[in-house]
Amino acid sequence: MSRKKAVAGGVGVLATALATSVLLAPAAGATTTTADGVNSAYAIAAKGLLGIDPSPYVTDEKGFEQKSLATLNVPGLAQVKLLNASAGAGQARASVADVNVGLGVGKPLLTATAIEAECEAGKGNSSLAKAKLGDVTLDVNAPTNTTVAVPGLLSVVLNKQTKKDDGSITVTAISIKIDNLQTLDIASVTCAPGDDDNGGETPTTAPTKTSTSKPGTSTPTSTKTSSGGGAGSGAGDKPDANGKAPRPTPVKAHLDVTG
């Protein structure tokens, strides 16, 4: 059997599996490494017999970035329109419209009005609009890592989410793999983990303490008063060298006479 016929047969088996829910199952995401603190996105990419560089590809390594393509057509693989990707401010988003994935067979493997993936601060999700795998309509929001597989031939992962060692996450709305010959990813985003509590900022100075008096009270004041105060105070107010009391200093005063 030729590879083309095998793939065509696999698509039929895949559709049957979807209809009977026999091969639908969540798959655990793998753990890999990635650059810290960088958010990125692309609308479509493929490797294998037919290749597509991540398009359009954006990263916020130098700040917010957004790119768009009106259409992309790879004969024998896929036709898509309105490809968009953006990344920045802790977020990333990728989307495509009018999707038709044929993979070289007569009947489309995948069609959709729109496919989108987005993430923010290490969390993400994806959504599908009027999407069909074969003849089977797909849910708008598929559970994380829902896998439909024909063992030894092909597999399709919906809402594929992969956690990385640094806490970041990659979300791919639809990831298709045909044996070891071809892969196709549609709407894929990567987001770095979120900041720590308090926005990741640590106070560098201690708060200033302020002393306040309670209502109805006053702050005591220390006042020094001379024992002999007044204009007459001076050297005559102090004991002499022999310790005798000082001579009184007369003070002139006027007394009113009454009577």
Q: Which domain holds residue 109?
A: 3-196
Query: Are the CB atoms for 122 and 169 separated by under 8 Å?
Result: yes
- Report if residue 144 sits inside a domain: yes
Neighbours of 197 (CB within 10 A): 7
- Report if residue 108 sits inside a domain: yes
- Report if residue 239 sits inside a domain: no
Q: Provide the sign of the torsion angle of the four alpha carbons 196, 127, 43, 24, taken in this order.
A: positive
Q: Give Dmax (Cα) for the chain.
A: 148
- pLDDT (tens digit per residue) in 71-100: 999 988 999 999 999 999 889 999 999 999
Kindly report the length of the chain: 259
User: According to the model, what pLDDT value does residue 103 have?
Assistant: 66
Query: Are the CB atoms for 147 and 156 separated by under 8 Å?
Result: yes
Interior angle at CA 18, CA 144 and CA 100, nearest 5: 80
Q: 62 in helix, strand or coil?
A: coil
**pLDDT (mean) for 217-240:** 48
Cα(55)–Cα(43) distance, integer angstroms: 6
- Report if residue 245 sits inside a domain: no
What's the predicted TM-score (pTM) here? 0.65
User: According to the model, what pLDDT value does residue 121 have?
Assistant: 87
- Report if residue 249 sits inside a domain: no
CA dist 24 → 134, 162, 189 (Å) = 15, 18, 24
Phi and psi angles of residue 151, each rounded to the nearest 5 degrees, phi first = -50, 130
Cα(183)–Cα(157) distance, integer angstroms: 11
* Domains held by the chain: number: 1
Interior angle at CA 212, CA 207 and CA 216, nearest 5: 160
- Report if residue 78 sits inside a domain: yes
**pLDDT (mean) for 127-144:** 92
Cα(23)–Cα(167) distance, integer angstroms: 30
- Report if residue 230 sits inside a domain: no
- Report if residue 149 sits inside a domain: yes
Q: Which of 29-38, 48-57, 95-104, 237-246 has the lowest mean pLDDT?
A: 29-38
